[in-house]
């Protein structure tokens, strides 16, 4: 997906939630309005899309109030005094947290500012027809899951069977030793 296509989808989703793109474009960028396509091309070619992504108006429309957000809590390491008086190091694993907040867009703006590639971060929250088709296909979902996890049950079973047959062949081909 090109930068232009991604920006087009982002603007469309925000507009569906009430974002007035034309008004924002004229007031914030102070450029003359021609068409939506031309405006998005200007954003993508001249890298002005950062102004759009970090705009409060855009973010508050893109992530609707009260929308459920999922975020990753990073691993934490800290020292703590144990009962016996020694100091121990406590390490907590990272975990996923889900929350419903009216200002979810503020959280996403903070995360967007920390992201190395803001457009890639935004792509995670975009529903595209490809995603919908792949999610609706149960066979495709199983295949993708198997590819993600590894070989799956059958692959491991086949591997065990192959190893067992190799062992049987070795025993058959090996000369028998007679004990005296």
Residue 46: both structure tokens together: 């001249």
pLDDT at 74: 77
Closest CA to 54 of 128, 119, 123, 149: 119
pLDDT at 12: 92
Q: How far apart are CA 139 and CA 141, in angstroms?
A: 5
pTM: 0.56
pLDDT tens digits in sequence order for the chain, 180 residues long? 888 999 999 999 899 889 999 999 999 989 899 999 999 999 988 888 999 999 999 998 888 776 666 666 778 898 999 899 999 999 988 877 666 667 778 888 998 999 898 888 888 877 665 544 444 445 444 444 444 444 444 555 666 666 666 666 555 555 554 444
pLDDT at 70: 67
pLDDT at 33: 92
pLDDT at 171: 58
Bridge partner list, 77: 91
pLDDT at 67: 66
What letter would DSSP give residue 104?
Answer: H
Q: How far apart are CA 125 and CA 117, in angstroms?
A: 14
* Element counts in the chain: helices (H) and strands (E): 10, 4
pLDDT at 136: 47
pLDDT at 157: 61
Domain assignments of the chain as residue spans, ordered by start: 3-65+103-126, 139-171
């Amino acid at each position: 997906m090109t930068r232009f296509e991604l920006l087009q989808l982002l603007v469309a989703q925000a507009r569906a939630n009430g974002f007035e793109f034309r008004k924002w474009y004229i007031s914030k960028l102070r450029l003359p309005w021609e068409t939506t396509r031309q405006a998005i091309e200007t954003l993508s070619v001249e890298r002005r899309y950062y102004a759009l992504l970090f705009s409060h108006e855009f973010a508050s429309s893109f992530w609707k109030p009260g929308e459920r957000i999922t975020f990753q809590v990073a691993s934490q390491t800290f020292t703590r005094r144990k009962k016996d008086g020694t100091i121990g190091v406590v390490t907590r694993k990272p975990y996923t947290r889900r929350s419903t907040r009216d200002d979810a867009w503020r959280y996403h703006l903070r995360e967007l500012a920390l992201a190395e590639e803001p457009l890639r971060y935004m792509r995670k929250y975009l529903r595209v027809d490809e995603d919908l088709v792949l999610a609706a296909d149960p066979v495709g979902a199983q295949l993708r899951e198997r590819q993600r996890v590894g070989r799956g049950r059958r692959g491991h079973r086949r591997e065990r069977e192959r190893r067992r047959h190799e062992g049987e062949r070795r025993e058959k081909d090996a000369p028998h030793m007679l004990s005296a």
